[in-house]
């Protein structure tokens, strides 16, 4: 298959179309504008619908509306825009609506900065809205992974009747890399996907026959729904994905996800060249988080962990600490406010860790 | 083997096109890994613009680097901003039509080319970036010249095929300067 040179945002959008996405609603915000721009041009070509909503709140509710008909639907925004999606995402999780949301993360909190960051980790993985619901959250570190994850996200969303979040960042959104695109689902396949959903979709049934789209109700109804959802979240152990790079004999471990992870991986290679036994653990699903990979480390051999994130304060470090407890020192290598992680910075912090623990 | 570069200048000098032609061409014509990261923000014509390109045989780590092998500079402000990011032993490509200052470093090689004047002599100021791309490829030999010629046809030719010969000529002119500077 031929390689195509594509911008992360556009690759995301094209992959979604190929997965059968036929509805997109969104509202402009940097650095994800090329996603709606691409959909605006592309969706009419395949008989889909694009709407630029009057706001984020309107857009996420259009997403809810479209997704509950069984049409594969997606939206994207960035950080402060995703905060405005909270209510809609929570409602979709409550009503068990399958939809895909992409967060191309920028600086924060608040309006933050338009430059890339990884400042939304805890929001994405722990509480994207009220009510304690959970989502599968995939964290790509290359444009190719953006493509592959968006394509798969629709299947995961429909399997679980639950929204799925792609946690990217401004570098992945704006950078260009060669990608191989997945197969385009045919009109027949797209129609079959929608037909499969018909029984659950909130069209053409009396309200009492609805299988989905019944958010909380009075009495015991809400608790039953919550018990069902919690049971479903527990099935996600099989979905945990994690990349381990040169960890077999590692004495220090770099823990990092998304864009920072690929930079950390390059640093591991350089550290190895210096004779330092470094390794990388990269959660690919940041929710569900690969706690066991950290729990199962050989704590006699590994002497320390370096948590590498484009967030100040550190956020993924909470999950690493939860797994490791106080068995290892965990150092931080952080950038924020639009400052992009560099290999040089990772090397500097890794050397400081080595000096202290080895 | 990985080779990283930063290209920087005024918005409107074709800095982004310089980067995309190099990266797009390399993607289309080789098996190498490539990343291209454009600066983004409130840039506009006359403002500043810069981009990062990495070309490698293996997977690329950081798409944005602290230290690069090559620095391609189109104006004085960019020279001041980025000279600290050029590795020891790195190469600085200067548009000497515009850049009047010289860096206070003796650990780098400087390749000079008056690309704005050359472009004006060719009758189209806009091709200055293509001349510089020729200088860069001719000197660094990071990819074959055919890679860029194909990219010009693919990217510029798609919308304005009448501009392809002019751009090819501009590229060849730069290539000669780059090759000569190698000796």
B20: contact with A, CB 8 A cutoff: yes
Average pLDDT, chain B: 94
Per-residue confidence band for B11, with pLDDT thresholds at 50, 70 and 90: confident
Distances (CA, A) of B69 to A9, B4, B7, B140: 28, 5, 11, 10
What is the strand order of the sheet A242-245 is part of?
A242-245, A278-283, A252-256, A304-309, A330-334
B155: contact with A, CB 8 A cutoff: no
Query: Cα distance from B4 to chain A (closest Cα, Å)?
Result: 13
ipTM summary value? 0.93
Segments making up each domain of chain B, as ranges: 2-182
Inter-chain CB proximity A5 and B63 less than 8 Å = no
Query: Cα distance from A31 to chain B (closest Cα, Å)?
Result: 8
Tokens of B84: 């600290």
Q: Are A41 and A48 in contact (CB under 8 A)?
A: no
Per-residue confidence band for B177, with pLDDT thresholds at 50, 70 and 90: very high
Q: Do the strands B2-10 and B48-56 form a parallel or antiparallel pair, or are they unpaired? A: antiparallel
Q: Choose among B23, B34, B62: nearest Cβ to A342.
A: B62
Inter-chain CB proximity B62 and A263 less than 8 Å = yes
Inter-chain CB proximity B61 and A262 less than 8 Å = yes
Inter-chain CB proximity B66 and A342 less than 8 Å = yes
Inter-chain CB proximity B35 and A177 less than 8 Å = yes
CATH code for the domain in which residue A150 is found: 3.40.50.970
Query: Cα distance from B107 to chain A (closest Cα, Å)?
Result: 20
**Shortest CA distance from A340: residue in chain B:** B64
Taking CB atoms within 8 Å and a gap of at least 24, the contacts of A81-85 are A81/A27, A81/A29, A81/A32, A81/A56, A82/A120, A82/A123, A82/A128, A83/A123, A84/A55, A84/A56, A84/A57, A84/A60, A85/A56, A85/A57, A85/A59, A85/A60, A85/A128, A85/A129
Among residues A238, A269, A287, the one where a domain terminates is A238
- Distance separating alpha carbons of residues B105 and A154, to the nearest angstrom: 54
B27: contact with A, CB 8 A cutoff: yes
Distances (CA, A) of B7 to A116, B118, B136, B139, B144: 20, 19, 11, 15, 19
Q: Residues A221, A252: one domain?
A: no
Interval B97-121 mean pLDDT: 97
Q: Residues A233, A252: one domain?
A: no
Q: How many CB pairs under 8 A join A and B?
A: 71
Q: Are A9 and A174 in contact (CB under 8 A)?
A: yes
Q: Where are the alpha helices (DSSP H) in A161-220?
A: 170-174, 187-197
**Shortest CA distance from A177: residue in chain B:** B35
Residues of A in contact with B27 (CB under 8 A): 3-5, 178
Q: Residues A207, A262: one domain?
A: no
The tens place of each residue's pLDDT in chain A, 358 residues long, gives 689 999 999 999 999 999 999 999 999 999 999 999 999 999 999 999 999 999 999 999 999 999 988 999 999 999 999 999 999 999 999 989 999 999 999 999 999 999 999 999 999 999 999 999 999 999 999 999 999 999 999 999 999 999 999 999 999 999 999 999 999 999 999 999 999 887 777 666 666 666 666 655 656 678 888 899 999 999 999 999 999 999 999 999 999 999 999 999 999 999 999 999 999 999 999 999 999 999 999 999 999 999 999 999 999 999 999 999 999 999 999 999 889 999 999 999 999 999 999 9
* Alpha carbons within 13 A on the beta-carbon side of B69: 12
Residue ranges making up the domain that contains A187: 4-238
CATH code for the domain in which residue A262 is found: 3.40.50.920
**Shortest CA distance from A30: residue in chain B:** B41
pLDDT in tens, B150-169: 999 999 999 999 999 999 99
Q: Residues A60, A199: one domain?
A: yes
Q: Residues A234, A250: one domain?
A: no
Inter-chain CB proximity A174 and B38 less than 8 Å = yes
Q: Residues A224, A256: one domain?
A: no
CA-based radius of gyration for chain A:
21
pLDDT of residue A199: 76
Q: Residues A172, A194: one domain?
A: yes
Among residues A216, A238, A260, the one where a domain terminates is A238
Q: Is the previous residue joined to A31 through a cis bond, with omega within 30 degrees of 0?
A: yes
- The domain total for chain A is 2
Inter-chain CB proximity B34 and A174 less than 8 Å = no
Tokens of B77: 């402000």
Q: Choose among B41, B62, B63: nearest Cβ to A114.
A: B41
Which of A297, A294, A317, A296 is closest to A307 using CA atoms? Answer: A317
Inter-chain CB proximity B27 and A178 less than 8 Å = yes
Inter-chain CB proximity A345 and B62 less than 8 Å = no
- Distance separating alpha carbons of residues A25 and A33, to the nearest angstrom: 12
Inter-chain CB proximity B23 and A342 less than 8 Å = no
Q: Residues A207, A284: one domain?
A: no
Asked: is B2-182 a CATH 3.30.530.20 domain? The reply is no
Q: Residues A219, A266: one domain?
A: no
Q: Residues A42, A172: one domain?
A: yes
Inter-chain CB proximity B40 and A174 less than 8 Å = yes
């Amino acid at each position: 298959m031929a390689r195509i040179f594509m911008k992360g945002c556009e690759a995301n959008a094209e992959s979604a179309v190929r997965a059968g996405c036929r509805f997109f609603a969104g509202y402009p915000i940097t650095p994800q504008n090329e996603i709606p721009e691409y959909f605006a041009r592309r969706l009419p070509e395949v008989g889909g619908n694009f709407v630029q909503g009057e706001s984020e709140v309107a857009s996420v509710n259009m997403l809810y509306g479209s997704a509950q008909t069984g049409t594969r639907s997606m939206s994207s925004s960035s950080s402060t825009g995703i905060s405005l999606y909270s209510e809609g995402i929570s409602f979709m999780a409550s009503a068990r609506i399958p939809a895909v949301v992409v967060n191309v993360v920028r600086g924060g909190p608040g309006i933050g900065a338009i430059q890339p960051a990884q400042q939304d980790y805890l929001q994405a993985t722990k509480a994207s809205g009220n009510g304690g619901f959970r989502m599968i959250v995939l964290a790509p570190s290359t444009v190719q992974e953006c493509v592959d994850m968006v394509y798969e996200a629709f299947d995961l969303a429909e399997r679980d009747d639950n929204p799925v979040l792609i946690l990217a960042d401004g570098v992945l959104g704006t950078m260009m890399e060669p990608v191989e695109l997945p197969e385009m689902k045919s009109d027949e396949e797209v129609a079959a996907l929608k037909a499969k959903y018909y029984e659950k979709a909130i069209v053409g049934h009396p309200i009492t026959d609805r299988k989905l789209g019944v958010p909380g109700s009075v009495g015991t109804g809400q608790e039953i729904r919550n018990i069902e959802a919690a049971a479903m979240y527990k099935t996600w152990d099989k979905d945990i994905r994690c990349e381990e790079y040169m960890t077999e004999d590692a004495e220090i471990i770099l823990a990092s996800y998304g864009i920072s992870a690929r930079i950390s991986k390059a640093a591991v290679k350089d550290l190895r060249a210096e004779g330092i036994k470094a390794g990388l653990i990269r959660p690919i699903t940041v929710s569900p988080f690969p706690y066991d990979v950290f729990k199962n480390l050989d704590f006699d051999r590994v002497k320390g962990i370096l948590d590498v994130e484009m967030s100040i304060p550190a956020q993924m470090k909470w999950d690493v600490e939860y797994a490791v407890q106080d068995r290892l020192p965990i150092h931080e290598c952080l950038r924020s406010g639009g400052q992009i992680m560099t290999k040089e910075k990772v090397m500097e912090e890794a050397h400081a860790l080595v000096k202290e623990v080895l | 083997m990985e080779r990283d570069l930063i290209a920087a200048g005024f918005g409107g000098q074709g800095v982004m096109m310089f980067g995309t032609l190099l990266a797009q061409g390399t993607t289309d014509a080789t098996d190498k890994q490539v990343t291209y990261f454009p600066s983004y923000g409130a840039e506009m014509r006359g403002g500043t613009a810069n981009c990062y390109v990495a070309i490698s045989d293996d997977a690329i780590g950081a798409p944005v680097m602290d230290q690069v092998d090559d620095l391609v500079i189109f104006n004085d402000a960019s020279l001041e901003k980025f000279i600290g990011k050029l590795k020891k032993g790195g190469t600085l490509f200067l548009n000497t039509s515009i850049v009047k200052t010289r860096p206070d470093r003796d650990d780098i090689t400087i390749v000079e080319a008056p690309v704005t004047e050359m472009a004006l002599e060719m009758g189209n100021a806009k091709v200055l970036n293509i001349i510089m791309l020729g200088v860069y490829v001719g000197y660094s030999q990071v990819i074959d010249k055919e890679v860029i010629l194909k990219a010009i046809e693919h990217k510029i030719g798609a919308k304005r095929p009448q501009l392809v010969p002019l751009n090819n000529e501009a590229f060849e002119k730069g290539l000669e300067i780059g090759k000569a500077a190698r000796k």
